Amino acid sequence: MVTMKAEDTSMRMKLVLILLAAFGVFGCTEKNGAARGAGEVTTILLTDSTGIDDRSFNAAAWRGILDFFGESWGNTPGRGRLFEVVTAQTEDFYETNLRNAVDEGHDLIIATGFTWAADLGRVAADWPDQNFLIVDVDWVGLPNVMQAVFAEHDGSFLVGAAAALKAVEDGIPNPRFGFIGGFRGR
């Protein structure tokens, strides 16, 4: 798996949030006892056990949310009112965390990674008026689920091309390259 630069992914997450807000997907309601202003959206990021410090999709998604709300990693006054993050210690918590997020009334529920797909599909089917976003998945196929996928193969090609050019520059005859991918699952 190619890890995209965090800046690229966070910019894409920010654009997704802005587009959803611009197209009026969100209404103005009360959240957790605190009234929101007109046009304010609320979102929650649900992560796997690696949390927002994973230096990958979770961190990029969190950075995109912070950017959208005009905040920074170390300064999050909107947390708890406009946005939140919840980390699942194991996959056994995925469905529960999704259902809790729906019950809390967030405008947009974001999950990062394909391990969330099955649970998100079940929960999204139960709440067709709730907006969901899943990153790195394109097979949930429900109208209330936006699916953000990236062309990882493009990055892989560019990394291979850069390695080949570097090998030629370094005078390595007949260089060979390989890729080892992995998944830390159950």
Residues 34-53 have pLDDT tens digits of 444 546 889 999 999 999 98
Return the CATH class of domain 6-148: alpha beta
CA–CA distance, 16 with 163 (Å, rounded to integer): 32
Q: Residue ranges of the domains in the chain?
A: 6-148
Measured in residues, the chain has a length of 186
For residue 76 the two structure tokens come to 């999050």
Q: Are 44 and 85 in contact (CB under 8 A)?
A: yes
- Answer whether residue 129 shows pLDDT above 60: yes
Q: Which two tokens stand for residue 130?
A: 């709730």
Comparing 156 with 126, the larger pLDDT belongs to: 126
At residue 118 the predicted structure's pLDDT band, cuts being 50, 70 and 90, is very high
pTM check: above 0.75:
no
- Give whichever of 23-32, 33-42, 95-104, 161-170 has the largest mean pLDDT: 95-104
